[in-house]
Structure 1
Amino acid sequence: MEYLKFCFVFSCWIKFANSVYSTDAPKSPAPVPKEKLLVLTVATEETDGFRRFMQSANYFNYTVKVLGMGEAWKGGDVGRSIGGGQKVKLLKKAMEDLADQEDLVVLSVDSYDLIFAGGPEEILRKFQQANHKVLFAAEGLIWPDKRLSDKYPSVRSGKRYLNSGGIIGYAPYINRIVSQWNLHDNDDDQLFYTKIYLDPLQRETLNMTLDHKCQIFQNLNGAVDEVLLKFGTGRVRVRNTAYDSLPVVVHGNGNTKMYLNYLGNYVPNAWNYEHGCSHCDDDVVDLSQLKEYPNVLVGVFIEQPTPFLPEFFQRLLTLDYPKDKLKIFVHNNEVYHEKHIQRFWEENRNVFSSFKVVGPEENLSQGEARNMGMDLCRKDATCDYYFSIDSDVMLTNRQTVKLLIEQNRKIIGPLVTRHSKLWSNFWGALSLDGYYARSEDYVDIVQRKRVGVWNIPYMAHVYLVKGSVLRNELKERNYFVLEKLDPDMALCRNAREMTSHREKDSPSPESFHMLRPPKGVFMYITNRHDFGRLISTANYNISHYNNDLWQIFENPVDWKEKYIHQNYTRIFTENFLEQPCPDVFWFPVFSVKACDEIVEEMEHYGSWSGGKHEDKRISGGYETVPTDDIHMKQIGFDKEWLHFIREFISPVTLKVFSGYYTKGYAIMNFVVKYTPERQAYLRPHHDSSTFTINIALNNKDTDFQGGGCRFHRYNCSIESPRKGWSFMHPGRLTHLHEGLPTTNGTRYIAVSFIDP
């Protein structure tokens, strides 16, 4: 008995060895040439998503045949419910002419929300390795009938459920599947394929399987956490970390279209570390080749009290764009700013092609006002672009409008950020509830470590829209009002999720209630240039006479630009200062605007001390050398003034008094008023300070005569103070000084006794 068992086992082993080493053993099939791969896709309109799909297909030289272009869509609202049967009907018709081509491999994919990450050779190789005649995409979520879950074959590892957004197979087999279609255009295509796949007999006869481990198809719905970008030389791939695969087809099904947009900023060759942005200069508009510049309507929105508004309008005025091609629409929601708009209009009424203002008396909401501005361009056939800008955007790039037009996008905004913060005018991603989420590349884009043109889900504050887009894709007139969203969020959601309204020209009553697939307009942000910044409006107090003076903390860059002398930085780069007396230094610090506004603020306050010895404002209540003055503390400006000292006086101190590090602290900070009638001069005295600054706030010979300062120890006088320039001198022991008489007019100086 044992002998017989041995003979049986031995004979089996011999048969196995012969089969392995036999020259007649089956060989691996020859690779399918890429010319035998045909991509079929359904697209009734050339949406932004379709153009992106074709761009990725052309990059890899796929042969693509588009089905249904220009036809009315009757396949239902596939973005929100069941539908898509029209796609199967179109595929069925196309396959009738291909059914007898046994060596032809057909790849049927969606197009609006799909991109290629690899080429034909790779997809054919992976298809052959699957060793089936038909391969469907797979996903981890079942749709549209969850009751069919138990009928799916169980899998040890990988995605279990069929997704119809990607199908690859030999033409005769694809034809045998789609030829079974006899349903309506708005029936569900995925349910149709699912029922065929779940039929064990058909699954075996047609030799079908699913791409369980995402070798070819990556459906993003339910799998975003599995996907990472894989940067390499030449191009960027999507890597599935769960199965360590590099899918060839990436499909943003379900609610993952925004994540696909993020991936599409890189895949397959849009941006990488080696060459940066590959498509930024594709299809650009060369303005120099145009006979005339396009007409632009500029919509300006002032929705809250905004600092530096006159400067905002000046930057608008200095845009490098023909003013006869600019029309201005202003919505002002703040009575406080009416004086600024009136002044600008009076000075520039003939500069622009037109200038229209809608004021607070109209009582428009933000959404209504923004709809009105956009509608002005929509109704005007000559309006080529609509440029929307909020008053809290400080454009520092005069070329901004030109640069945005040249990028030739439907909607594009320039990146603007809040100084020294990551706050910007775009979001890189959205949370599940539709609000802010930080994308993986957000910080790099904001900091311009990655430079390019980026497809993003949300933008605000400033953007350019093509007039033709407003008259076609965005032709409805209420885009800024949606549920409880703020106007910018409403616009972006409407643009992202845009669907056409009812097809009133549909050929049959049955299709009247059908909606087209979502065909959202892509929105872009560009950081290819420095465009400007966002101003903070959060703590803008308008109770003062010149409110911008108080913005040194909230908006330090704009404060410096407005109030610091244009030659201040030359102190450090060119030694731009003077020493008229020993250890007395003279340097520029304030702009003319700063001097004027400080004087105005003090005169508006009006309670000058009168130069009396009795002074309740100081400790002890007695001033030995009194001046006719107002303290910074009296107008609530002491914190801001001390910050000014630390930011702009302390560096000069270190330069001229080398080795001395000031604390930048002062108790006595005030503006002095000299007039022949009240107080014309100041007797000799020492200051109670380590050093003193004395800033001239107006012009000698224009605003007053006389004045100046004499230092007794050195018998040295400075009699021609320059407006905005400051003296700096030691306060004790060596620099006894006096204020020389003002003989006519009024002289103003700002004084601080620093480090008392």
Structure 2
Amino acid sequence: MEYLKFCFVFSFWIKFSNCVYSTETPQAPAPLPKEKLLVLTVATEETDGFLRFMQSANYFNYTVKVLGMGDAWKGGDVGRSIGGGQKVRLLKEAMEALADQEDLVVLVVDSYDLIFAGGPEEILRKFQQANHKVLFAAEGLIWPDKRLADKYPSVRSGKRYLNSGGIIGYAPYINRIVSQWNLHDNDDDQLFYTKIYVDPLQRQTLNMTLDHKCQIFQNLNGAVDEVLLKFGTDRVRVRNPVYDSLPVVVHGNGNTKMYLNYLANYVPNAWNYEHGCSHCDDDVVDFTQLKDFPNVWVGVFIEQPTPFLPEFFQRLLTLDYPKDKLKLFVHNNEVYHEKHIQKFWEENRNVFKSFKVVGPEENLSQGEARNMGMDLCRKDATCDYYFSIESDVMLTNRQTLKLLIEQNRKIIGPLVTRHGKLWSNFWGALSLDGYYARSEDYVDIVQRKRVGVWNIPYMAHVYLVKGNVLRNEMKERNYFVLEKLDPDMALCRNARELTSHREKDSPSPESFHMLRPPKGIFMYLTNRHDFGRLISTANYNISHYNNDLWQIFENPVDWKEKYIHQNYTRIFTENRMEEPCPDVFWFPVFSEKACDEIVEEMEHYGSWSGGKHEDKRIAGGYETVPTDDIHMKQIGFDKEWLHFIREFISPVTLKVFSGYYTKGYALMNFVVKYTPERQAYLRPHHDSSTFTINIALNNKDTDFQGGGCRFHRYNCSIESPRKGWTFMHPGRLTHLHEGLPTTNGTRYIAVSFIDP
């Protein structure tokens, strides 16, 4: 007995000694060359998603074999329900020819919603490190049969459940798996693989495991919060900090396809900080190589009262594009704007190749009107592009239409933003309920810190669509009506989730899901150029005679462009200012349009004071030196006028009266009317102000004769006022002045007593 014990102990010691003291180390398998990796994917159509997949594959020089291209899809509506069996059948057929290639590694992936972030060498290295014959992608959510959850082997860390969107393994083993397929094309592929994997015997026999910690495969469904972008000098990776991994295959499964679109704006080499946009000039349209300009239907939509509409039409007219290649469709839903459209139509109806107007009398909804506009291009075989633009878009770039066509995308819009705000015409992400969410890069794109062409989930206001896309992928004619969504949201969702109708040769009509997989047309936004801006329509009051005058707060840039003299800025850049009398400064401030509209507004109001001393409008009720006038307050323009003073007069004050900082405040702001019949002149007086501005609102010799202003202390007269120019002079003590007689016609001036 003691002898047996001795033998056992001695034998154990010998084995232990061999383990501890042996100088031999296990040899790592030799790295597989990238030629030993074959990528198989099923795609029946070259969708935008498929083309993106191939672009990323080509970037890394993968060898890809596409199965089923051009076949009828009968694998179910995999975007919304179970299905995908057709993929397994096609894979089974392909693997029969590869089954005896023992050293061939086959990577089976989806293609419509997947991109590569790394190359073949990296995948092969990570696969060999896994030390299994077959490796499936893993995810944290179980699909499609939750009852199988308990059959999965438990894991200490990582994702537990199989996802069939990514499989890698040696060819003979992949063949042994798919050769078991004997189901229908519309049966579920993931359920098929799951049942094989959860069978302990098969899992052991086929030496299968899951990529639990996302070393190779990153499924985004349920894991969006796990990933972030890692920017390098040459390319961008997706990093999973939870498992400290850099996945090679990124799969936008489930409802994460839009998030994949966001990632693919960068990964693998679409955009980085070093080089910016890498693909923006790929496959562009070269106008110099075209025999003729493409034909474009332009759809203009006026759905609410919109400020600066005549200026909108003028910008449309001045686009640098042959007008004989443009057909114009205008839908106007506002009676108020009929006068503007009528005027534009009368002046330009023969400028465009076609000009069609649908007015408020048609009582079309916004969705119906947009469907009508898009149909005009869809039904016109000569229509190469459809350009939709809403009336709140001010295109300041005359090349906009050319620049959009050049980018050669199915749907693309130019970035337009509201001045001084982050409000724009696109969303970088959507919330779970399908509405706005801010993407990480939204602000940088809006502020043009990141410049490129961006795949986005939602755009509005202005975009270009290819005509052949409307006649093929988007041939249905109700894209702008969907549930309770506004027209733009309906269009975007319909484009993103685009599917074909049931195949005509479907074997059985009882299956609702006999559809092609979602074809999802990508929508792009470009901010490569400064295209223009969005104007605000929210607080547009149309109760005035000239309503745009009141837009100085809501739309300051457009207000300035319309109402401030074109040479105003030269006061500061070129010292463009005159001093006709001592300390009397003369400079341009108002455009002709501003002068005309202020006069029209006053005449429309019509209650001129008559130049009487008794005046209930002022404190005390008595005016010592009265004028025939109307106060800005009477027409509800006092706040706007004071803002004008602070924005455009105060900076000049600081320039000419050095050291004086004006408050930009005035109690007396009014328009004076001089006529020989009512009040022709004004006797000498001082103004109740620190300084006064006096703006000429019409033209001498054209609208009136005579007039002007004389400063007594200096015996200096200014008798030729210029329309839109203002005098600025001290009001008290030194500058006693009088209004010279108007001998004929009517003279109008706008006056403010500033800092009383």
Do they superpose with TM above 0.5? yes
Three-state SS of the structure 1 residue aligned to 2:510 is helix
Three-state SS of the structure 2 residue aligned to 1:298 is strand
Any conservation in 1 of the 2:271–2:277 contact (CA below 8 Å)?
yes
Any conservation in 2 of the 1:504–1:512 contact (CA below 8 Å)?
no
Three-state SS of the structure 2 residue aligned to 1:511 is coil
- Distance, in Å, in 2 between the alignment partners of 1:619 and 1:4 is 125
- Distance, in Å, in 1 between the alignment partners of 2:25 and 2:560 is 83
How far residue 233 of structure 1 moved from its aligned partner, in angstroms, is 1.1
Q: Assess, with a 3 A threshold, how the Cα gap between structure 1 residues 263 and 669 changes in structure 2: closer, same or farther.
A: same
Q: For structure 1, which segment, 583-592 or 509-518, has the greater mean C-alpha deviation from structure 2 after superposition? A: 509-518
- State the partner residue of 1:472: 472
- Distance, in Å, in 2 between the alignment partners of 1:689 and 1:6 is 119
How far residue 5 of structure 1 moved from its aligned partner, in angstroms, is 8.3
Three-state SS of the structure 2 residue aligned to 1:168 is strand
RMSD value, Cα: 1.5
Three-state SS of the structure 2 residue aligned to 1:509 is coil
Q: Assess, with a 3 A threshold, how the Cα gap between structure 1 residues 607 and 509 changes in structure 2: closer, same or farther.
A: closer
Any conservation in 2 of the 1:276–1:452 contact (CA below 8 Å)?
yes
Please give the per-residue CA displacement for 1:605-653, whole angstroms capped at 9, x wherever unaligned: 0000000000000000000000000000000000000000000000000
Three-state SS of the structure 1 residue aligned to 2:259 is helix
How far residue 348 of structure 1 moved from its aligned partner, in angstroms, is 1.1
Please give the per-residue CA displacement for 1:211-245, whole angstroms capped at 9, x wherever unaligned: 00000000000000000000011000000111010
- Distance, in Å, in 2 between the alignment partners of 1:711 and 1:675 is 21
How far residue 506 of structure 1 moved from its aligned partner, in angstroms, is 4.1
Three-state SS of the structure 2 residue aligned to 1:91 is helix
Any conservation in 2 of the 1:332–1:359 contact (CA below 8 Å)?
yes
Any conservation in 1 of the 2:453–2:525 contact (CA below 8 Å)?
yes
- Distance, in Å, in 2 between the alignment partners of 1:501 and 1:2 is 84
Three-state SS of the structure 1 residue aligned to 2:107 is strand
Any conservation in 2 of the 1:19–1:25 contact (CA below 8 Å)?
no
Q: Assess, with a 3 A threshold, how the Cα gap between structure 1 residues 454 and 206 changes in structure 2: closer, same or farther.
A: same
Any conservation in 1 of the 2:506–2:514 contact (CA below 8 Å)?
no
- Distance, in Å, in 1 between the alignment partners of 2:581 and 2:56 is 72
- Distance, in Å, in 1 between the alignment partners of 2:6 and 2:49 is 67
Please give the per-residue CA displacement for 1:152-208, whole angstroms capped at 9, x wherever unaligned: 000000000000000000000000000000000000000000000000000000000
Any conservation in 2 of the 1:118–1:249 contact (CA below 8 Å)?
yes
Three-state SS of the structure 2 residue aligned to 1:190 is helix
- Distance, in Å, in 1 between the alignment partners of 2:565 and 2:2 is 108
- State the partner residue of 1:652: 652
- Distance, in Å, in 1 between the alignment partners of 2:2 and 2:497 is 76
How far residue 26 of structure 1 moved from its aligned partner, in angstroms, is 3.6
- Distance, in Å, in 1 between the alignment partners of 2:201 and 2:67 is 30
How far residue 68 of structure 1 moved from its aligned partner, in angstroms, is 0.2
How far residue 504 of structure 1 moved from its aligned partner, in angstroms, is 1.7
How far residue 10 of structure 1 moved from its aligned partner, in angstroms, is 7.2
How far residue 13 of structure 1 moved from its aligned partner, in angstroms, is 5.3
Please give the per-residue CA displacement for 1:333-377, whole angstroms capped at 9, x wherever unaligned: 000000000111111121110110000000000000000000000
Any conservation in 2 of the 1:506–1:512 contact (CA below 8 Å)?
no
How far residue 501 of structure 1 moved from its aligned partner, in angstroms, is 1.1
Any conservation in 2 of the 1:682–1:739 contact (CA below 8 Å)?
yes
- Distance, in Å, in 2 between the alignment partners of 1:585 and 1:505 is 84
Please give the per-residue CA displacement for 1:392-435, whole angstroms capped at 9, x wherever unaligned: 00000000000000000000000000000000000000000000
Q: Percent identity?
A: 94
Any conservation in 2 of the 1:74–1:511 contact (CA below 8 Å)?
no
- State the partner residue of 1:507: 507
Any conservation in 2 of the 1:503–1:513 contact (CA below 8 Å)?
no
1:405 equivalent to 2:438? Answer no
Any conservation in 2 of the 1:300–1:390 contact (CA below 8 Å)?
yes
How far residue 508 of structure 1 moved from its aligned partner, in angstroms, is 6.3
Any conservation in 1 of the 2:77–2:513 contact (CA below 8 Å)?
no
- Distance, in Å, in 2 between the alignment partners of 1:341 and 1:232 is 53
- Distance, in Å, in 2 between the alignment partners of 1:506 and 1:313 is 50
How far residue 513 of structure 1 moved from its aligned partner, in angstroms, is 5.6
- Distance, in Å, in 2 between the alignment partners of 1:24 and 1:471 is 70
How far residue 6 of structure 1 moved from its aligned partner, in angstroms, is 9.6
Any conservation in 1 of the 2:81–2:513 contact (CA below 8 Å)?
no
- State the partner residue of 1:83: 83
Any conservation in 2 of the 1:60–1:119 contact (CA below 8 Å)?
yes
Any conservation in 2 of the 1:234–1:269 contact (CA below 8 Å)?
yes
Three-state SS of the structure 2 residue aligned to 1:510 is coil
Q: Assess, with a 3 A threshold, how the Cα gap between structure 1 residues 20 and 684 changes in structure 2: closer, same or farther.
A: same
Any conservation in 2 of the 1:215–1:247 contact (CA below 8 Å)?
yes
Any conservation in 2 of the 1:40–1:66 contact (CA below 8 Å)?
yes
Q: Assess, with a 3 A threshold, how the Cα gap between structure 1 residues 351 and 16 changes in structure 2: closer, same or farther.
A: farther
- State the partner residue of 2:545: 545
Any conservation in 2 of the 1:137–1:219 contact (CA below 8 Å)?
yes
Any conservation in 2 of the 1:72–1:506 contact (CA below 8 Å)?
no
Please give the per-residue CA displacement for 1:288-331, whole angstroms capped at 9, x wherever unaligned: 11000000000000000000000000000000000000000000
Any conservation in 2 of the 1:415–1:525 contact (CA below 8 Å)?
yes
- State the partner residue of 2:122: 122
Q: Assess, with a 3 A threshold, how the Cα gap between structure 1 residues 13 and 391 changes in structure 2: closer, same or farther.
A: farther
Q: Assess, with a 3 A threshold, how the Cα gap between structure 1 residues 222 and 342 changes in structure 2: closer, same or farther.
A: same
Any conservation in 2 of the 1:114–1:251 contact (CA below 8 Å)?
yes
Any conservation in 2 of the 1:264–1:270 contact (CA below 8 Å)?
yes
- Distance, in Å, in 1 between the alignment partners of 2:532 and 2:62 is 42
Three-state SS of the structure 2 residue aligned to 1:502 is coil
- Distance, in Å, in 2 between the alignment partners of 1:400 and 1:2 is 98
Any conservation in 1 of the 2:681–2:739 contact (CA below 8 Å)?
yes
Q: Assess, with a 3 A threshold, how the Cα gap between structure 1 residues 13 and 232 changes in structure 2: closer, same or farther.
A: farther
Q: Assess, with a 3 A threshold, how the Cα gap between structure 1 residues 626 and 121 changes in structure 2: closer, same or farther.
A: same
TM-score norm. by structure 2 comes to 0.98
Q: For structure 1, which segment, 500-509 or 144-153, has the greater mean C-alpha deviation from structure 2 after superposition? A: 500-509
- Distance, in Å, in 1 between the alignment partners of 2:90 and 2:534 is 50
- Distance, in Å, in 2 between the alignment partners of 1:17 and 1:621 is 116
How far residue 25 of structure 1 moved from its aligned partner, in angstroms, is 4.8
Three-state SS of the structure 2 residue aligned to 1:533 is strand
- Distance, in Å, in 1 between the alignment partners of 2:622 and 2:509 is 94
- Distance, in Å, in 2 between the alignment partners of 1:612 and 1:368 is 58
Q: For structure 1, which segment, 445-454 or 6-15, has the greater mean C-alpha deviation from structure 2 after superposition? A: 6-15
Q: Assess, with a 3 A threshold, how the Cα gap between structure 1 residues 15 and 632 changes in structure 2: closer, same or farther.
A: same
Q: For structure 1, which segment, 498-507 or 452-461, has the greater mean C-alpha deviation from structure 2 after superposition? A: 498-507
How far residue 577 of structure 1 moved from its aligned partner, in angstroms, is 0.4
- Distance, in Å, in 1 between the alignment partners of 2:71 and 2:667 is 79
How far residue 15 of structure 1 moved from its aligned partner, in angstroms, is 2.8
How far residue 437 of structure 1 moved from its aligned partner, in angstroms, is 0.2
Q: Assess, with a 3 A threshold, how the Cα gap between structure 1 residues 5 and 580 changes in structure 2: closer, same or farther.
A: farther
Q: Assess, with a 3 A threshold, how the Cα gap between structure 1 residues 335 and 523 changes in structure 2: closer, same or farther.
A: same
